[in-house]
Structure 1
Amino acid sequence: MSGIKVLDGKDGWLFLQNDTNRVVEQNSSALQLTESEIKKWLRTLEARVAMLKNRGIKYYFLIAPNKESIYPEYLPDDYKINDDRVVYQLINACKPYHLPVYYPVDILKLYKSEYQLYPTGDTHWNGIGGFIAYKYVMNIIKKDFNINILDWEEIEIVEKEALLDLGNKLTPPQTSLFSWGMVKQPRAQIIYDNKGINSGHMRVTLNKNTSLPTAAIFHDSFIEIIIPFLMESFSKVYLLRTPCVDYDLIEEINPDVVISELVERFLIQPPVDF
């Protein structure tokens, strides 16, 4: 029905629809990036790489997969999800320029037979899915830096019933099982939080191990579940919720690593850094 934000999938799985990014149309390729938008993305990513390289900083762009990309088997039979959708438009456009774009869809699919990686009633990955994505991107960064990467034995997965983003849109609201990861012996803590809501929310974390590199992470809500893990891999982490790279902040803190994270469905809107 038009306007309803939640799509009923199979076996009680819920999915997003009628959102501002038009995720259903993106998945079917009815809505794609225009040639102009692809060029904007390329200019933005090339500028990020070049400008950060001039400062001796490495850049990595992590794309969090949509829930539909990992669990298409739970979508309604008439739901179309195509391989030429927006995320692959961007990835394929970036390949000739060797831009550092990373999309952990294959590794998450590999683990989904062993673990549930996204809750039935939420758009985001859970603690297990987030931990797998964390290890994926950290192993890429480890090729360039001597960083600490948490292993499975160092975390504890906790589960509970919770009211999540999709279940909360139903009448009556519907809870789902949610899992998150806790570090058993944490060495890092949050030392600053501006208590912002959504865009502009900034936090700074500090690790007892000061020999590790520093990182600035520009992100959306998908990063939230993996912050406890990221804190353990860097001596200091600056987290800012924005799709853009804040060059003023970069100039001020001079990190070793810059990570951008954006969920797949948000790619339809190329960010403007300046």
Structure 2
Amino acid sequence: MSHFIRNISNVILSIVFLAVLCAPAAVTNLSGSGPALDENREPAAMPVLKPDVQGIIEFPSRFERYFNDHFGLRSLLVRWYSIIKLLIQDKSSVKDVVFGRDDWLYFTGDGVLKDYCGTIPFSEKELELRKNLLEQKRDWLEEQGIAYLFVIPPNKHSIYPEYIPDEFTLIRGRTRLDQLVEYLENHSDIHILDLRKTLLDNKDRLRLYHRTDTHWNDAGAYFAYAEMIREIDRMLPCWKSEPWMLSDFEVVKVKGKGGDLAGLIKLEESIQEERILFRPERKRKADLIRMPAYLDRKWIFCNHVFAPFARENPDGNGTAVIFHDSFSMALSPFLGEHFRRAIFIWRNNPDYFLLEDVIEEEQPDIVVEEVLERFLGFMRTEQEFPAQALSMEFSASDETVLHMTTASSSAGDFSRRRDVSITRGPDGFIIDASGDDPRFELPDSRVPDTIRSIVRVDVT
């Protein structure tokens, strides 16, 4: 009987083992829609096998990324793995998160720790490109009577380095933000608002960042907001406003589930966060207005909709447009009290076309661009703003792609003519147009194979 029971037990154990192995595969989603990820990115798409050598070489790794994102029971298995890794090795199961001292978590993606150690500095060219971009935006806005403020919230690492594990701080050097601030001081008249000093000066009063999250809490957002309002007051002569006092708020501490870093390792239910909340003692006047169809655009970022919103205070002064990342979500209730209309758009580093549309719609007094310290490396420095930027880039080039003179070309080089006659004259070609739709084409020319090219056509 015992032999029979042992056989039955082995069969049951085998079935359970196979079930554990097969369950993820059974619920794996290969339809392409994919599960929701907590990693601020879209799940990898099903790769297409391209019928060429490069496509065949790349397909296995691309399919592996796709399969990892769509693997059945992914969240549950990641949570189990995180718990085991934490209990046995006291380490994070996700490479983009590290455990610091006193239960602090730190984000390590986007080269944050390398930047903190000073091992991935900007080149001289990268600094120059950022200077040019900021100056171009400022000058273009100033031509329209609009002030421009560039604001940099610091990484948590910059304000609370004391909790980072020693293994990540053996080397310390100048960060990219250190470089940029120094470069602009020496090579530009543009002023940026580096929030490190005001936060470091106030970190002993209250904890300013969440322990288990990337972001600052209400206290950090408050001190940043107060410095921003003082700066805006200096920039706008006719705009007078003062930040609310710290005594205008009741400071409340509430325990709840962990923040986004705890979520990345699926331990948000196991690792708690003590949140510091600012509850106003005086009545807030600004109304929140959501605008999901603003400018008839789709506002999608990392597979989520982040539609613009406004805060309107009838007793406020002027209009502000704030382009931002996630750090401004905690800022917006504070800032919104000071403006008649403050519109918040989740697009840091906006391109010219978006900025032009928003400026035309809002006619603001000031544009604020908030860019987190770690995102300075991702600024889209290839974009330009009209006139000055185009002139600067064109003047820096010495390449001519086509030059037609009567000595080097003939009238027959102009093709596909319609309602136009072209003849050789004493000083050049004479173009005589007639009809309603004259046209002609120039000879084929080789344009540089780049992301975009600036071409100027001179007809004299």
**TM-score normalised by structure 2 residue count:** 0.56
Among candidates 52, 77, 80, match of residue 166 of structure 2: 77
2:281 counterpart of 1:175: no
Give CA-to-partner distance per residue, 1:35-90, whole Å, 9 cap, x none: 33212211110011101111111111110011010011111123237451111111
Q: Which amino acid aligns with 1:222?
A: F
Q: Hey, what does 2:130 align to over in structure 1? A: 41
Matched letter for residue 111 of structure 1:
N
Whether contact under 8 Å (2:310, 2:344) holds in the other structure is: yes
Deviation at 1:157, TM superposition (A): 3.2
Counterpart CA distance in 1 for 2:343 and 2:112 is 30
AA matched with 2:251: I
Contact 2:290 2:307 in 1 (8 A): no
Q: CA, structure 1 residues 252+172, in 2 after alignment: closer, same or farther (shift >3 Å)?
A: closer
Query: Of the candidates 178, 182, 206, which is equivalent to residue 88 of structure 1?
Result: 178
Q: Secondary structure, in 3 states, of the residue corresponding to 1:244?
A: coil
1:1-274 equivalent positions in 2, closer than 5 A: 4-17=95-108, 19=109, 21-80=110-169, 82-96=172-186, 97-143=188-234, 144=236, 145-160=239-254, 161-173=256-268, 174-183=271-280, 184-194=282-292, 196=299, 198=301, 201-210=307-316, 212-245=317-350, 246-272=355-381
In 2: Cα distance, 1:50 partner to 1:7 partner: 42
Counterpart CA distance in 2 for 1:117 and 1:180 is: 11
Q: Would the aligned equivalents of 2:311 and 2:337 in 1 still touch at CA under 8 Å?
A: no
* 8 Å CA contact 1:117, 1:129 repeated in 2: yes
Q: SS at the partner of 1:102?
A: strand
Aligned letter for 2:259?
Answer: L
Q: How far apart, in 2, do the equivalents of 1:82 and 1:260 lie? A: 29
Distance 1:179 1:117, change over 3 A: same
> Larger deviation: 224-233 or 172-181?
172-181
In the alignment, is the contact (CA less than 8 A) between 1:163 and 1:175 conserved in 2?
A: yes
Structure number with higher helix proportion:
2
Going from structure 1 to structure 2, the CA distance change for 1:218 and 1:36 (only over 3 Å counts) comes to same
Deviation of 1:2 after TM superposition, in Å, equals 8.9
SS of residue paired to 2:251 = strand
C-alpha separation between the residues in 1 aligned to 2:321 and 2:116? 31
Q: Which runs of 5+ in 2 are unaligned?
A: 1-91, 294-298, 385-460
Q: For residues 257 and 150 of structure 1, what CA distance do their matches in structure 2 show?
A: 20
- Provide the C-alpha distance between the structure 2 equivalents of 1:192 and 1:176, rounded to a whole number of angstroms: 29
Quote the Cα distance in structure 2 between the aligned partners of 1:155 and 1:227. Answer: 16
Conserved 8 A contact 1:61-1:261: yes
Q: What one-letter code is carried by the residue in structure 1 that aligns with 2:129?
A: K
**Any conservation in 1 of the 2:141–2:147 contact (CA below 8 Å)?**
yes
**Counterpart code for 2:111:** R
Q: Is the 8 A contact 1:29 1:82 kept in 2?
A: yes
How many percent identity over aligned positions?
28
> Secondary structure of the residue that 1:205 maps to in structure 2?
strand
Question: What is the letter of the counterpart of residue 128 of structure 2?
Answer: K
4+ aligned runs moved over 6 Å, structure 1: none
Q: Do the aligned partners of 1:202 and 1:238 also contact (CA within 8 Å) in 2?
A: yes
Shift of 1:176: 0.9
Count of matched residue pairs: 271
Deviation for aligned residue 1:171 = 4.4
Q: Is the contact made by 2:349 and 2:371 (CA closer than 8 Å) also made in structure 1?
A: no
Deviation at 1:260, TM superposition (A): 0.6
Name the aligned partner's letter for residue 188 of structure 1: A
1:114-137, CA deviations, whole angstroms, 9 ceiling, x for partnerless residues?
210011101111000100000011
- CA contact 2:319–2:339 (8 Å) conserved in 1: yes
Alpha carbon RMSD of aligned pairs, Å?
A: 2.0
How far apart are residue 148 of structure 1 and its match? 4.4
1:201 CA displacement: 2.7
Whole-angstrom distance in 2 between the partners of 1:188 and 1:63: 25
Post-superposition shift, 1:107?
1.5
Cα distance, 1:244 vs. partner?
Answer: 2.1
The structure with higher relative contact order (CA 8 Å, sep 6+) is: 1
Is the CA contact 1:59–1:100 (under 8 Å) kept in the aligned structure 2? no
Partner SS state of residue 22, structure 1: helix
Deviations 1:124-156 (A, max 9, x none): 110001000000111111122213422223333
1:110 partner SS: helix
Distance 2:361 2:190 in 1: 25
Aligned equivalents of 1:14 and 1:3: distance in 2?
A: 12
Letter in 2 for 1:190: L
